[in-house]
């Protein structure tokens, strides 16, 4: 597949950071048995990966702005372009030696996401998308699943944990969805979950309390794979409301309706 120049830069940055994470991941698995534990090491791995991504992107586009999980907003002279970066999506998985995590990089141009890369180094899976150009997994074109009924679907979600989210509200949504679907999966890395929707591995996905870097690359991928993405109210204020619902046209609509059922 042909990639644009900026996509090549983003892929290179994601894969270089991914190689760093893969080395650190091996160390984390060894540290699991230590008394101190691997938490401090993982936070360092996260920062190392972010530094790598930023350095690689700045080489090619030194004027662009950044929104990064660790460093926050970084202003550049070109205010029309912004990289949105999560250097380690799925930190808790990484911490526990679970190989479901990734580097996520999106490019926003004049408020629209136009390119995205998600790389899981543990599985060597590279998801890429450019606006109008489709989405690819290791250079093979992907489409959302074409299932038409929730009863046939496996749906991904994110479960709020200690100190995060409205647990009671989520449990109502979970109960509603549980009653309608073939299965629910909580993988632990929203960016990769959305890439899985784009690849047809998950039929749909919903989650609250997400940040732009959790969703930016993945939401483009779902759209480029023929899917639908919105906030839980059906609008496009996804970053503002910090929630997302994704799936093919029919499943997106059915999932929206199901999570909004009254108690």
The annotated binding site is made up of 69, 86, 88-89, 214
Tell me how many helices (H) and strands (E) the chain has: 8, 13
Q: Distance between CA atoms of 95 and 29, rounded to whole angstroms?
A: 8
Distance between CA atoms of residues 25 and 41, nearest Å: 10
- The Cα 13–Cα 50 span in angstroms is 10
Which structure tokens are listed for 188? 């632990």
**Most distant pair of Cα atoms in the chain: their distance:** 53
The alpha carbon of residue 40 and the mean position of all alpha carbons in its chain are separated, in whole angstroms, by 23
Are the CB atoms for 254 and 176 separated by under 8 Å? no
Binding-site residues for Mg(2+), in ranges, read 69, 86, 88-89, 214
């Amino acid at each position: 597949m042909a990639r644009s120049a900026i996509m090549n830069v983003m892929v290179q940055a994601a894969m270089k950071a991914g190689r760093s994470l893969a080395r650190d991941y091996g160390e984390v698995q060894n540290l699991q048995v230590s008394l101190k534990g691997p938490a401090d090491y993982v936070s360092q791995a996260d920062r190392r990966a972010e530094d790598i991504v930023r350095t690689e992107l700045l080489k090619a586009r030194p004027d662009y702005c950044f929104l990064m999980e660790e460093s926050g907003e970084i202003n550049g002279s070109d205010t029309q372009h912004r990289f949105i970066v999560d250097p380690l999506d799925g930190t808790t998985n990484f911490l526990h030696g679970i190989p479901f995590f990734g580097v996520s990089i999106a490019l926003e141009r004049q408020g629209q996401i136009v390119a995205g890369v998600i790389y899981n180094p543990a599985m060597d899976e590279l998801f890429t998308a450019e606006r109008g150009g489709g989405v690819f997994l290791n250079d093979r074109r992907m489409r959302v699943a074409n299932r038409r009924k929730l009863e046939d679907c496996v749906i991904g979600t994110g479960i709020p944990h200690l100190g995060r989210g409205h647990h009671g509200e989520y449990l109502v949504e979970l109960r509603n969805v549980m009653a309608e679907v073939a299965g629910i999966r909580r993988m632990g890395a929203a960016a990769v979950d959305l890439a899985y929707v784009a690849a047809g591995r998950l039929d749909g996905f919903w989650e609250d309390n997400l940040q732009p870097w959790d969703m930016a690359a993945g939401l483009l991928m779902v759209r480029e794979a023929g899917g639908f993405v919105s906030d839980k109210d059906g609008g496009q204020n996804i970053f503002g409301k910090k929630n997302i619902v994704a799936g093919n046209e029919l499943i997106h609509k059915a999932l929206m309706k199901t999570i909004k059922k009254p108690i």
